[in-house]
Amino acid sequence: MEAMQTFFTNVMRKYMPDPLVLVIGLTFLTAVLAMVFEGTGPRELVTSWGEGFWSLLEFTMQMALVLVLGYVLAKTGPVDRLLDLIAARVSSPRTAIVIATLVGGIASYLNWGFGLVIGGVIAKKLANRVDGVHYPLIIASAYSAFTLYGFGLSASIPVIVSTPGHPMEDAMGVLPLAETIFSPVMLGLAALTLVVLMVLNPLMHPHDPAKVVPIAEEHQDAPARSVTKAGTDLEIADRLNHSRVLAYAIGLLGVAYLVLYFADGSQLNINAVNFTLLFVGILLCGTPAAYVAKLSEGITTVAGVVLQYPFYAGIMAIMAASGLVGSIASGLASVASAESLPLVNLWASWVINFFAPSAGGHWVLQGPFAIEAAHSLGSSVPANTMAVMLGNAWNDIVQPLWLIPALALSKLRLKDIMGYLVIAMIVVGVLYSATLLIWGSVAAG
């Protein structure tokens, strides 16, 4: 294990550039593939890229809000104290790796934005408290469990297709969550994945103390800035800024809306997730000023995502206009059977996610081909739907776009942690592939 980890780490440190360089490279790679395999002309290619560049602005804002609001929630006093309590009970480096993986996985299952942030937060706390922890590995371990979001409450594709009126309802109907993320096979795979990562990640910890890289002083968080004002001589504006009454009033108003929203039978969606994160965060912060202070910190964690999302929107536009994604999906499906189609869609999704690392946008590209092939071959629609979702979540273990928050929190470089993530990706890929092949075979039989 240590030899494999050393090999991948050395390769990544030598050849892995920063995320922005990677997305620029992917842009040109997509353009070349579209011209070579689809015959797309340069004019059409450049036009589709430019017109698609800003096509996901609304979605980009939604994703940025998930991350920023998730950061604020993860850094509120009650959550921070809970994480401190957990970290204080850990004394061994390998136990610290296990706990970082567990917390990151559970948080990602509950909400992917929350999980992206809280995994990095608990990893840094543990690195600060536990002597002998290999800092790059504990950050990578917490992030590796991000793949659990593919089974969780914010898994975009299952949530979308469970909503009446979704874009593919005519082709596949409304698919209840009980047949996708809450099916026994997916619940079991989620638990197994988390357990396997909790066993795998500590095995990658260096045995030689000389190879352990501790958290550097410059990587540690600065002491929290207090925004509490005491005394009776405050200006009216300051009293309003630090008013708990205002925070609790608007927070409870938001909670009241959510109660009515779900009581009326409305479905969980990205806007409902962000609404929840916002108003629960305000309640836990306690004052408007405290919330704004945490929000300002969180904005730095999403700067790279905001910058890179338009590039990925342009890549997705090239793939859609050229028909490249259809060729990838249909080409793989042409060699599949009813039993193996979920496995094939998993692999196709893994490839496509390098170019379209957003489950919602990814589904728009691959979903029609996946479901059409499922109907044509008599393969399980739920299994193929989850295959696309899990291919996305599997690839996200090494997807540079979603690593940006972890890198911003840890102050590490992509090449510092990618070697460990490649190993986790390989192991998780075996689990996902075996499960979907069995699910497809049982469903077809």
pLDDT digits (tens, 9 = 90+) for 114-144: 888 889 999 999 999 999 999 999 999 999 9
Cβ atoms of 354 and 417 closer than 8 Å = no
What is the model's pTM?
Answer: 0.83
Q: Is the pLDDT of residue 300 over 90?
A: no
Higher local confidence (pLDDT), 218 or 342: 342
Q: Is the pLDDT of residue 225 over 70?
A: no
Q: Which of 11-15, 136-140, 211-215 has the lowest mean pLDDT?
A: 11-15
pLDDT digits (tens, 9 = 90+) for 389-418: 999 999 999 988 888 888 888 889 888 999
Token couple for 230 = 């005491």
Q: Is the pLDDT of residue 226 over 70?
A: no
Q: Is the pLDDT of residue 229 over 60?
A: no
> What confidence category does residue 287 fall into, taking pLDDT thresholds of 50, 70 and 90?
very high
- How far is 7 from 420, CA to CA, in rounded Å? 10
Neighbours of 207 (CB within 10 A): 8
pLDDT of the residue at 389: 96
Q: Is the pLDDT of residue 20 over 90?
A: no
pLDDT of the residue at 297: 82
Most confident of 10-14, 88-92, 305-309: 88-92
Over range 80-86, report the average pLDDT.
92
Q: Is the pLDDT of residue 303 over 80?
A: no
Q: Which of 37-51, 202-216, 276-290, 313-327 has the lowest mean pLDDT?
A: 313-327
Q: Is the pLDDT of residue 68 over 90?
A: no
Cβ atoms of 429 and 331 closer than 8 Å = no
Q: Is the pLDDT of residue 301 over 80?
A: no
Q: What is the mean pLDDT of the chain?
A: 88
Higher local confidence (pLDDT), 331 or 429: 429
Q: Which of 227-241, 340-354, 390-404 has the lowest mean pLDDT?
A: 227-241
Q: Is the pLDDT of residue 5 over 90?
A: no
pLDDT of the residue at 230: 47
Over range 25-36, report the average pLDDT.
92
> What confidence category does residue 220 fall into, taking pLDDT thresholds of 50, 70 and 90?
low
Over range 258-266, report the average pLDDT.
89
